[in-house]
């Protein structure tokens, strides 16, 4: 994309969505001198599904490119102030480094592939035997309960034989204390480079002229002209694609799926609120992270007994259901002293997930129309990298690169690895290496 502002356009790029990834794309493009505008139907940056993110930062994925991207993102979060170019850390989101523990289970093939990727990229890890896990997490029961079950199953809560022999601890990991503030940090950083934002504004049409996107039409009638439009609308991304005067050519499916995360308070004497870890436990199909006020948050790793539930992003209930209660009871298999309320509290929101739970970062069949979709659930941690990747992809395509025939090779800044961006293609087959879960 030329550095000069096109005379026949209002903006060099219109970005639909101002969540964590939409703001990261704005920041990356604005730093390159592009005149950008984010349009969002909500009242503030990060106000939608970003605000419900568990905001986990981890360095393990099922694919090598996914792992490398996560490691790159870890460095950005670790150096958040420098990445933003902020003068001081006032008002910045905080990365809390706890480390992440992944149980070695039959469901994750005892981390064989994950650890090969870690070795390839030089990611540090420690093998923790069962006794070390119990020392760090008192009261833990390491019996096996797989496969994960619903509460009404006759064998729910009954050990299925065998024990968890150990896990792998990754020191580089943790969580961001406030995901919405992180999005606002990115918005402010982008604005310092000239990026503009319109909130409480809904896109109602995306015109196309001679197979080139022409801009967007807003619900107040404004036509914002731009030769580049980027769909970063999260759970609304499918509805946004439907506004396009043409077919974007997406072969792999994506849809808004319900997610619930329950919050519970573990017994104080166990010290979990003081020494919380991020834990992934595929035997009980749950992930656990420290929450606020001494609570822990428990979510599903999408086993067969938790089938996907598609929702309308404009009309879905936000009350927790028995699903959330089930997650808490699954974790109580590990921690029998855990008290589970029959009236759980937590978060119900939507993931925009692809069929293989890996994102789409790509162009489309319509020139100038780009996609950063299917990202919910496991891409918060990668937002800074996704911003840089999308900016490079847009430049590559707008300067004549044939991305479908010769995909962009994107060199990472902090990790000795080059991403083959065909990994994130809209036209890909299902990624066989994927966990097919929120783990990516």
What is the Cα 408 distance to its own chain's centre?
22
**Among residues 2, 204, 21, which one has the least CA distance to residue 13?**
2
Rg value, the chain, Cα = 22
Residue found under tokens 């209930």: 317
Pairing status of strand 229-231 against strand 369-373: parallel
Structural domains in the chain, CATH included, are: 13-70+178-253+356-424 (3.50.50.60), 96-173+256-349 (3.30.9.10)
- pLDDT given at position 4: 43
Helix/strand/coil for 218? strand
- pLDDT given at position 297: 94
Q: Return the number of other C-beta atoms located less than 10 Å from residue 274's C-beta.
A: 9
Residues of the chain with pLDDT under 70: 1-8, 271-275
What is the Cα 309 distance to its own chain's centre?
18
- pLDDT given at position 2: 47
> How far, in Å, are 79, 109, 314, 440 from residue 57 at the CA level?
13, 22, 29, 13
> How far, in Å, are 67, 244, 372, 386, 397 from residue 208 at the CA level?
36, 7, 19, 26, 17
Burial of 408 (0-12, 13-18, 19+ CB in 10 A): buried
């Amino acid at each position: 994309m030329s550095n000069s502002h096109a005379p026949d356009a209002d903006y060099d790029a219109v970005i639909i969505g101002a969540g964590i990834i939409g703001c990261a794309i704005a920041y990356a493009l604005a730093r390159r001198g592009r005149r950008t505008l984010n349009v969002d139907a909500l009242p503030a940056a990060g106000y939608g599904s970003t605000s419900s993110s568990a905001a986990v930062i981890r360095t393990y994925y099922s694919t090598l490119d996914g792992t490398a991207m996560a490691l790159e993102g870890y460095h950005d979060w670790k150096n958040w102030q420098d990445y933003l170019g902020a003068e001081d850390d006032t008002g910045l989101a905080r990365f809390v480094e706890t480390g992440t523990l992944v149980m070695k289970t039959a469901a994750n093939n005892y981390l064989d592939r994950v650890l090969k990727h870690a070795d390839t990229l030089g990611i540090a890890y420690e093998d923790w035997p069962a006794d070390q896990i119990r020392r760090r997490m008192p009261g833990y029961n390491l019996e096996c309960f797989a496969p994960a079950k619903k509460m009404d199953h006759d064998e729910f809560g009954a050990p299925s034989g065998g024990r968890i022999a150990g896990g792998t601890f990754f020191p580089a990991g943790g969580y961001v204390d406030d995901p919405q503030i992180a999005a606002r940090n990115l918005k402010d950083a982008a604005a310092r480079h000239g990026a503009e934002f319109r909130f409480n504004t809904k896109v109602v049409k995306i015109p196309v002229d001679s197979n080139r996107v022409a801009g967007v039409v807003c619900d107040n009638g404004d036509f914002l002209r731009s030769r580049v439009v980027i769909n970063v609308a999260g759970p609304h991304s499918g509805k946004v694609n439907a506004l396009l005067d043409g077919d974007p050519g997406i072969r792999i499916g994506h849809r808004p799926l319900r997610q619930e995360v329950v919050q519970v308070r573990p017994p104080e004497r166990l010290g979990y609120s003081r020494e919380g870890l991020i834990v992934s436990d595929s035997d009980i199909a749950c992930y656990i992270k420290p929450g606020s006020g001494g609570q822990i948050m428990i979510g599903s790793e999408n086993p067969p007994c938790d089938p996907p539930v598609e929702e309308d992003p404009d009309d879905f209930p936000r009350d927790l259901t028995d699903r959330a209660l089930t997650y808490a009871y699954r974790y109580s298999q590990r921690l029998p002293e855990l008290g589970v309320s029959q009236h759980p509290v937590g978060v119900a929101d939507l993931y925009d997930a692809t069929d293989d739970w890996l994102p789409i970062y790509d162009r489309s069949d319509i020139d100038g129309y780009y996609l950063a979709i299917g990202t919910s659930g496991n891409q918060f941690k990668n937002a800074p990298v996704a911003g840089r990747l999308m900016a490079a992809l847009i430049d590559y395509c707008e300067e004549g690169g044939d991305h479908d025939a010769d995909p962009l090779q994107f060199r990472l800044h902090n990790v000795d690895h080059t991403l083959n961006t065909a990994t994130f293609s809209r036209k890909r087959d299902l990624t066989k290496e994927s966990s097919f879960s929120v783990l990516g």
